[in-house]
Chains A and B, each alone.
Chain A
């Protein structure tokens, strides 16, 4: 028998691990993109601010007072350099307290008054572009008075933005490369994590059905609770099975022994009395006791078959020899009614893979039926043959046959309407079909066209002889 499949899996631990790993990496890539972009922007802004600062200082240096007039030599090279990276737009203004001296009159002025040597930097929107501006104050002696001139130089930062964008983009590509790498790594890692679970499952599955020792397979710490639960469960199962086994044999013993005692007493009473009425009664008693003892035996056999099916242990069994010995034990009963029992095909061994005791019980029930439902001086034939991969055991009698309306005589306690005064409990064929099912074989009962019944049991041959 195969272990029942586990309930359908809700989710795959491995897939979940891989997804989580990949999602985390993706998150990291996005974070990397923004972090690099931020850092690149800051770094390039700092360096470009240095250039802008130097430029505004050099513009300030070009201011001169000549004969009470302001002169300005705007440095071509400075402007050229400022604009070089990314073709920036450039705006400037020179103003005094009185107003604009030269340049763009509406250029945003700094919030704080800038110093003489270190420019102040600020940002502003101007003429449709975001500008970075640097401002500086220069003092010039114009005639008698000191004039404070504010120099403002602003530039767009297209180049800086482009650099930051490019840097971040390459970072993103590198990140995506890593991401591509993480998928196989994640698969591998997930497999490594799952492997002990797989190993444990494999170790448990590999065990024989009788093997109810605790699982001692080495397992990671996280699986120790599971192992503990599993071992506890195995221990309870073993206890329950042992209890059932001892209970069945105990019960068999406890019922059979007093029954046979009562039967002996009744038979002795029958022999000692001459009162015909009493004898009649005692005879019925002996018969009832026989019936119950028979029922008890059948019930115990049935329990035994059920138990052995659960614990099914197949080993090579020679059906030919087995059938021969069962035939001999039934023959004694048959001879009392002058029933002739013959066998065919028992001269050479016929090995099947199975449980000898179960097969023996099955054969005994089939033969018992054949004898029971045969008339005195009837014939019973047992024929053993091979059919496909199966051993075919066919028992035919010339008895009363089956009644057409009796369907499914293999049911528990089910007896046919043809039984008459033949004793029985109705468990015989139930036992036979259960034995056939446990072995992977099958059982059929059919009326013979001429007279009587044919019962056929198929059992798979052991692969060595198949």
Chain B
């Protein structure tokens, strides 16, 4: 997958900055002579493409250089490399929070509309979209089994049908995926039942992926039955009309992460970045995001959050997930659950 994207980038004739972080794809929107707003983001170019086009259309003096990268790479680019970007957007809430807390974010005043207080931190970090974390299932693979509605159902079903699901369950690999690590730390905090699920998944030789795209591809190819913890907007993009795929929002709880954006303290064009941020928070962009994730962050922009949805707040508590000791402890516990003797 990554090779493929790299090939696409090289094919476009764009040169990658010689830096210690990897960019998957880069594209420029808007006129040649416009003032450039450099964006680094975890959001797939394909899903945000139309929003960026709308922005440069409404702001003829601006152009956007959009770089897409994995969440860990985004964090590294800003935190370790001091790369020059004007807007940083990521779904890895803990990493975004750490950037802001550690002083990498500038204070900006975009037009935030009705953005709820829990979806922003100071005047530095602003939630842009609310993304439920779903479980995807292949109807074919389930056969006559009922579709589970809670984690308890899911665990019971996996236990009862080891043959059917052996090697056909997938999730993020928390060691290589920032979002994956963040999600299991949230899961482990939400309920103790999660470790039972992890154990069952380990016993059934679950496959771990770095990225959601790959996971969904495998699912659609019929080589997977269940993909646990997939960010909704990816699912929406890869399965627009696949009748076989079921998007499950488990009813015991469904996490929802906030994709957030900040303007780095060293931004060269903070005004442009603030304009873009204001646009991302404006009704047309919000409606677009709400449509692709199925849930609106801004009240009134789309479907309101379901009662079982647990949005994770943007607050200082997120800082604990980045702690290396905590991380080591959690990963070793995860390993113990996944790798059965």
> Are B329's CB and A72's CB within 8 A?
yes
> Are A80's CB and B324's CB within 8 A?
no
> Are A71's CB and B325's CB within 8 A?
yes
Interface residues of B in 95-133 (CB under 8 A from A): 101-103, 121-122
> Are B320's CB and A75's CB within 8 A?
yes
A316 interface hit (Cβ, 8 Å): no
| Cα of A103 to Cα of B320 in the assembled complex, Å | 10
> Are B326's CB and A73's CB within 8 A?
yes
B160 interface hit (Cβ, 8 Å): no
| Cα of A84 to Cα of B313 in the assembled complex, Å | 11
Q: Who on chain A is nearest to B320 by CB?
A: A74
A285 interface hit (Cβ, 8 Å): no
SS class, residues of chain A in contact with chain B: mixed
| Cα of A84 to Cα of B316 in the assembled complex, Å | 8
> Are B324's CB and A127's CB within 8 A?
no
A33 interface hit (Cβ, 8 Å): no
Interface residues as binary, A86-115 with B (CB distance below 8 Å gives 1, 0 otherwise): 011111001000000111000000000000
> Are A72's CB and B101's CB within 8 A?
no
| Cα of A426 to Cα of B316 in the assembled complex, Å | 112
The 8 Å CB contact of A102, one of B101, B103, B318, B325, is B325
Question: Which residues of A are found within 8 Å of B326, using beta-carbon distances?
Answer: 72-74, 102
Interface residues as binary, B303-329 with A (CB distance below 8 Å gives 1, 0 otherwise): 000000000010111111001111001
> Are B324's CB and A102's CB within 8 A?
yes
Question: In the complex, how many angstroms separate the beta carbon of B336 from the nearest chain A beta carbon?
Answer: 12
A129 interface hit (Cβ, 8 Å): yes
Q: Who on chain B is nearest to A94 by CB?
A: B325
Question: In the complex, how many angstroms separate the beta carbon of A155 from the nearest chain B beta carbon?
Answer: 8
B15 interface hit (Cβ, 8 Å): no
Question: In the complex, how many angstroms separate the beta carbon of A60 from the nearest chain B beta carbon?
Answer: 13
> Are A70's CB and B189's CB within 8 A?
no
Question: In the complex, how many angstroms separate the beta carbon of B315 from the nearest chain A beta carbon?
Answer: 5
The 8 Å CB contact of B317, one of A72, A76, A129, is A76
SS class, residues of chain B in contact with chain A: helix
> Are A90's CB and B101's CB within 8 A?
yes
| Cα of A89 to Cα of B320 in the assembled complex, Å | 13
The 8 Å CB contact of B316, one of A72, A80, A103, A129, is A80
> Are A87's CB and B323's CB within 8 A?
no
Interface residues of A in 129-167 (CB under 8 A from B): 129, 158
Question: In the complex, how many angstroms separate the beta carbon of B332 from the nearest chain A beta carbon?
Answer: 9
Question: Which residues of B are found within 8 Å of A103, using beta-carbon distances?
Answer: 323
> Are B324's CB and A84's CB within 8 A?
no
Known contacts A74-B323, A103-B323; A83/B317 CB under 8 A: yes
Known contacts A74-B326, A87-B121; A79/B320 CB under 8 A: yes
Question: In the complex, how many angstroms separate the beta carbon of A366 from the nearest chain B beta carbon?
Answer: 98
| Cα of A287 to Cα of B102 in the assembled complex, Å | 126
A82 interface hit (Cβ, 8 Å): yes
Question: Which residues of B are found within 8 Å of A77, using beta-carbon distances?
Answer: 317
Known contacts A76-B189, A87-B121, A89-B103; A102/B316 CB under 8 A: no
> Are B323's CB and A89's CB within 8 A?
no
Question: Which residues of A are found within 8 Å of B121, using beta-carbon distances?
Answer: 87
The 8 Å CB contact of B315, one of A71, A74, A84, A127, is A84
Known contacts A79-B317, A83-B315, A84-B315; A89/B101 CB under 8 A: yes
> Are A72's CB and B325's CB within 8 A?
yes
| Cα of A290 to Cα of B316 in the assembled complex, Å | 124
> Are A127's CB and B323's CB within 8 A?
no
Question: Which residues of A are found within 8 Å of B318, using beta-carbon distances?
Answer: 79
16 additional A-B residue pairs with CB within 8 Å, beyond A76-B189, A76-B320, A83-B317: A71-B329, A72-B329, A73-B326, A75-B320, A80-B313, A80-B315, A83-B315, A87-B122, A88-B316, A89-B103, A90-B101, A90-B316, A91-B101, A102-B325, A102-B326, A127-B103
On B, residues with C-beta under 8 Å from A are 101-103, 121-122, 189, 313, 315-320, 323-326, 329
What are 13 A-B contacts with C-beta separation under 8 Å? A71-B325, A72-B323, A72-B329, A73-B329, A74-B326, A76-B189, A77-B317, A79-B320, A80-B315, A83-B316, A89-B316, A90-B316, A94-B325
On A, residues with C-beta under 8 Å from B are 70-77, 79-84, 87-91, 94, 101-103, 127-129, 158
